[in-house]
Structure 1
């Protein structure tokens, strides 16, 4: 059977498989015990790789945690992009649906649960606060592409403004979930949707 699409180089495919296996192993361990009690050796053993391989790929325990956190950024992008595709022309519904899906999934993620439970974990907290630049850049780039290549049809500059604001606000909710009675997806959709609506209105003007 012939395959379509560009050929993925072996080294790249092998690296993706390695990272996926390791991060899946880390997630499994996080469902069993707190992040503070998980070592790189534990993750390597669960993933079936050597500890040296883990060091070579992620550099440190902090690097491993950051790679896992990037998955959260990807989850945000995937939820918002799917909501954009499913709510053509309705920015409020797209933001509301996309953010609701992300917040629900993030609230059940074992790394987030570990961050919020027990003693303070400065290393995890820094990932989404002081050291959040890699997550923000990654999410902003992917979200901007989604806004640019959809019915929103924003310029790259407009897309990056919207994407950066959305990523920064959404990720800030991870360490400080909204309190009782607050509907974050609805509130954020009311905040962000007018920007998209202004883009659409400007495009319709003669």
Structure 2
């Protein structure tokens, strides 16, 4: 009997695999250039040279420079949310500990990833370089993080009223993003402060919440 490899386990055709790799290389180089010099100075010619692909290939994949920017915003937002979800979903002794670690992760990502901070600033009028890529969702990091946290709170604190969970998610994300945009000398205590504030909105104990 001949074994049949499931479709999901079959390798991509060479053309599909090359396209995926090319797309990732271009976005990786776009991130590097934007982090170093700002999005205004990212050019298709530079991306083609650094990613070792032709300019026509980039135009065919992304349409134009704006298409690269849109794809990069979506990619970095997705990576940020996946990392946050992983931290929140890890085993912890309490809800408070998980939330505190989630805030700490978000702050660390804000320091590590200048592009995420640039997206946050663009959504708040800090720069117009990325504004054209935020038209479908003007504040993608904030709204997506709030949605993620609202769902997580429903699973983690099911006894809290729905409206309180929505308000708590909003408070937690707003406080966290404000510190990502305006870091201060006392940021080491921010995760605990945000977690306590969120617990207060939910009406559950602070460090002992579980």
> Normalising by the residue count of structure 1, what TM-score does the alignment of the two structures yield?
0.62
- Kindly tell me: are residues 114 and 86 of structure 1, through their superposed partners in 2, closer, same or farther at Cα, counting changes over 3 Å? closer
Long gaps (5+) in structure 1: 199-206
Question: Quick one: distance in 2 between partners of 1:197 and 1:14?
Answer: 52
1:88-167 equivalences in 2 (<5 Å): 88=92, 90-111=94-115, 121-124=127-130, 132-135=138-141, 139=145, 152=156, 161=166, 165=170
The equivalent residue for 1:70 is 74
The equivalent residue for 1:203 is none
Question: Quick one: distance in 2 between partners of 1:5 and 1:167?
Answer: 40
The equivalent residue for 1:6 is 8
The equivalent residue for 2:208 is none
> Normalising by the residue count of structure 2, what TM-score does the alignment of the two structures yield?
0.61
The equivalent residue for 1:51 is 55
Long gaps (5+) in structure 2: 205-210
State the Cα distance separating 1:40 from its structure 2 match. Answer: 1.8
> What root-mean-square deviation, in Å, do the aligned CA atoms of Structure 1 and Structure 2 show?
4.6
- Kindly tell me: are residues 173 and 196 of structure 1, through their superposed partners in 2, closer, same or farther at Cα, counting changes over 3 Å? same
Q: Which has the larger radius of gyration?
A: 2
State the Cα distance separating 1:192 from its structure 2 match. Answer: 3.0
- The question of 1:28 aligning with 2:32 is answered yes
State the Cα distance separating 1:134 from its structure 2 match. Answer: 4.7
Deviations 1:23-70 (A, max 9, x none): 112233345544332212211221122323323333333332232233
Aligned residues: 191
